[in-house]
Amino acid sequence: MKFNDSNNWTDYWAQLRKALMNPRVDDAALEKSLRKAREKIPAPVIWLLGKTQAGKTSIISALTGSETAEIGNGFQPCTRYSNLYDFPADVPIVRFLDTRGLGEVDYDPGEDIQYCESQAHLLLAVMKVADQRQEMVFSVLKRIRQRHPEWPLLIAQTGLHELYPLGGEHINPWPYGADPLPHLVPTDLRHALLAQRHAAEKIPGTAPIDWVAIDLTMPEDGFDPFNYGLEALWQTIESHTSIGLQQLLSGNEEVHGIYSRAAHQQIVGYSMTAAGLGALPVVDLVAVSTVQVKLLHGLAALYGQHWDKNTITEFLGLMGAGIASGYLTRVVGRAIAKVVPFWGQTVGAVWSASSSGAATYALGKAAVYFFTRRKNGLSVDPAVLRRIYSDSLAHGAAILKSRLRGGF
């Protein structure tokens, strides 16, 4: 089924209900649509460069909030010397390109440069501060910046505690953004930090080189906080990109805890996929609704809910006409749309994508409320459910806005 002038909200809602009740789908056709969607709005790539054991996986774990063990099993070969880690795996919000064996093999970055040239990306080098033998890393960075002098470079200096004096602790507040480094930084650590920074002065390029000193440990290691310098790392990443990655991965102050953060990341990932489908010349209604069904099934599993026909019927009944009226109000209030999903009005490609993505985002947030209440044995208030959906439409459109701009 494709969107055209005769489609309306009733068509969409009937298709979603059908897909939920009878989730059989042509997997080959769906995968073809999803592949096109991902090509339309590709996930940004963070290119990690550094020697083995420099702390690259710890950085990915801290940024995504995912377990290190899960990350270790999630890398897939991409080029001759690099692995790619998609997060989340099925509907990636971000992709991490990790160059393995740097310093151990004669690495030519040509393939990886070619891959990253077509992606929104950030070049993130990782150096353990106690390891001053970084010649191979600097050599690779020089070759990359000779080819792309405009690429910003962020260098994370890791393992600070290894150069603390006996019994040393983190300095709070984090002082490593100051220039010069304050004298309260232990002498050996300060000398090592500065030595690496001085060694990088010969790296060419017109874009800035930023340094962030971080110490990512396990809670049981006894350092407080265990994600020392993470906020500074996030601030620097955000200053070099326009995609709002921290918001996409972490949500806002209302998104906290293991369940809610994992749910938020799934919701954003599926919303970006739906946005990619909405950006295609002709929107495939079956593919959009199937993506939403997959999201709802995933959220049900996350919250330990039995997602049977009775539960589905209850959820759809509680949502009811409130979704249609709320969605229509927002559509009428906007002047840009190309193929507005569920209504078929031709006015602008960005709105087509954002409406698909925002509707998926809103559906997911409403489902989280529904599943959370059921998990805790509480009743579901239809008015609250519909308000969450309505409010989440605007919020979903806002957080997807920068990604949609980057996809066109």
From first to last of the 408 residues of the chain, give the pLDDT tens digit. 344 433 445 565 666 777 777 666 667 777 777 777 777 778 889 999 999 899 999 999 999 988 887 888 888 888 888 889 999 988 899 999 998 777 777 788 888 888 887 775 789 999 999 999 999 999 999 999 999 999 999 999 999 999 999 999 999 999 999 999 999 999 999 999 999 999 999 899 999 899 999 999 999 999 999 999 999 999 999 998 877 888 888 876 555 566 788 899 999 999 988 888 866 655 566 777 888 888 999 999 999 998 888 888 899 888 875 454 444 444 333 333 433 444 344 334 444 556 778 889 999 999 999 999 999 999 999 999 988 988 888 888 887 776 665 443
CB 128 within 8 A of CB 53: yes
Q: How far apart are CA 245 and CA 308, in angstroms?
A: 35
According to the 3-state scheme, what is the secondary structure of the chain?
Answer: CECCCCCCHHHHHHHHHHHHHCCCCCHHHHHHHHHHHHHHCCCCEEEEECECCCCHHHHHHHHHCCCHHHHHCCCEECCCCEEEEEECCCCCCEEEEEECCECCECCCCHHHHHHHHCCCEEEEEEEECCCCCCHHHHHHHHHHHHHCCCCCEEEEEECHHHHCCCCCCCCCCCCCCCCCCCCCCCHHHHHHHHHHHHHHHHCCCCCCEEEEECEECCHHHCCCCCEECHHHHHHHHHHHCCCCHHHHHHCCCCCCHHHHHHHHHHHHHHHHHHHHHHCCCCCEHHHHHHHHHHHHHHHHHHCCCCCCHHHHHHHHHHHHHHHHHHHHHHHHCCCCCCCCCCCCCCCCHHHHHHHHHHHHHHHHHHHHHHHHHHHCCCCCCHHHHHHHHHHHHHHHHHHHHHHHHHCC
Structure confidence at residue 381 (pLDDT): 94
Structure confidence at residue 344 (pLDDT): 40
Written as one letter, the residue type at 232 is A
Q: Which two tokens stand for residue 110?
A: 């040509």
- Give residues with Cβ within 8 angstroms of 347, minimum separation 6: 335, 336, 337, 338, 340
Structure confidence at residue 354 (pLDDT): 67
Structure confidence at residue 106 (pLDDT): 77
Q: How far apart are CA 254 and CA 125, in angstroms?
A: 32
Structure confidence at residue 333 (pLDDT): 36
The dihedrals phi and psi of 231, each to the nearest 5 degrees, come to -65, -40
pTM: 0.84
CB 271 within 8 A of CB 400: yes
Q: Which two tokens stand for residue 231?
A: 């906020």
Instruction: Tell me which residue of 405, 88, 399 sits closest to 245, measured CA to CA.
Output: 399
Structure confidence at residue 130 (pLDDT): 97
| Domains defined for the chain, CATH in brackets | 9-40+248-406 (no CATH), 45-240 (3.40.50.300)
